[in-house]
Amino acid sequence: MEFETTKDVLKNPITFAEKATGKNSTLPVLSSIILTTKKQSLTIQATNLDIGVEFTIPVKVIKEGSIAVPGVLLSSVIGNIQTSKKITCSTKQGIFNIITNGDTITLNTTPQEDFPMIPVVQEGDMFTTQSKKFISGLKSVVYAASLSDIKPEFSGVYVYPQQQNLVFVATDTYRLAEKKIPEKSASSFPGIIIPHKNITEILRIFEGVDDDIAVVSNKNQISFSTETIHISSRAINTPFPNYQEIFPKTYTTEATILKQDLIDILKITNNFSDKSGRVTFTINPKIKQCFIAAQNQTTGEQVSTVDAVLSGEDASHDYNYRYILECLQYVPHDSIICKVSSDGKLVITGLGDPSFTYLVAPLMKQG
């Protein structure tokens, strides 16, 4: 094979593909990136069997062919080449050659016979959505997914249709995030759980892509495709729990707060909370006061008053401040509503906007 291109065209697809290669795999070829030239395009493929990626980019093809190159090595070389001008890549007797105006680099290749096909979900449920909307939905909730695979249903993002919306949900049982985006085309989509560790790569690859994404899924697999990008991910087929039952039916206390005020206070809290991130959130509508307090035997104590519009009964509960701070960047409004139930569950939404809902469970009181 032989082709000509530039670093700007090659760098991002190679970098993204390397992230999807298999590390410490019993199948050595999974640590490689497959390069295939055909007609006037280069196809770049990689997989770790949990997620597979494929990019098709335009290049000047001089000779068609296919080769497997160690992913980490190739990504490092392409990323550090200094030229932005023409790069010529070719293979000869199992060696991959990279020639620029200042470099001549040869890389050993690996046998590619055992490289698995990147799955294409051809028979399944499908819808098409805007890339930016879909990525926004995933980003708004993925941080709330569990990092443990002990309960698989909590280790990913559940995506399902509801009326004319596409709903994204994630929970680690200590907090829960839900984001709704308008999407009429997904009404027949049955819902699926995408593993959080694969979502990291999906977000990285589709960030900044303006094209529509075709989403196709069956029980075990889900794929995301544009004209030049294809990603296939394993799906979690353990049923997602009926999370709506977790939300309180009624609330006893409510506070409307400027989002940035709360962010600034919680950033200070980082210096005074304990290992569990404990802060005490107190709302006293009767005396019109709302404050956040944290105490650390090593560093000291913080008590911060929060300007807020208050209603309901007095309430005081402990929460992990990190859980609250982490969600605030995804509330698309300057003001937030904090509602507290009688058992201390804290629910955060944007003022007048039901598209994002976030629930935090209280910590057990100390002593």
Average confidence (pLDDT) per 10 residues, the chain, 367 residues: 95 96 85 96 96 97 96 96 89 94 93 87 86 96 96 96 95 97 90 95 93 91 94 94 96 97 95 93 94 93 95 97 96 95 97 94 85
Residue with tokens 């937030």: 336
Query: Model-level pTM?
Result: 0.93
What's the CA gap between 87 and 9, in Å, rounded? 10
Q: Residues spanned by CATH 3.10.150.10 within the chain?
A: 2-108, 125-222+232-243, 247-360
pLDDT value for 367: 60
pLDDT value for 118: 86
What's the CA gap between 93 and 124, in Å, rounded? 42
247-360 has which CATH code?
3.10.150.10
2-108 has which CATH code?
3.10.150.10
Half-sphere exposure (Cβ direction) of 290: Cα atoms closer than 13 Å: 22
Kindly compute the dihedral angle of the four CA atoms of residues 316, 320, 322, 325, in this order, to the nearest 10 degrees: -20
What's the CA gap between 303 and 294, in Å, rounded? 7
How far are the Cα atoms of 9, 254, 366 from residue 86, in angstroms, in the given order?
A: 10, 62, 65
Q: What's 125-222+232-243's CATH class?
A: alpha beta
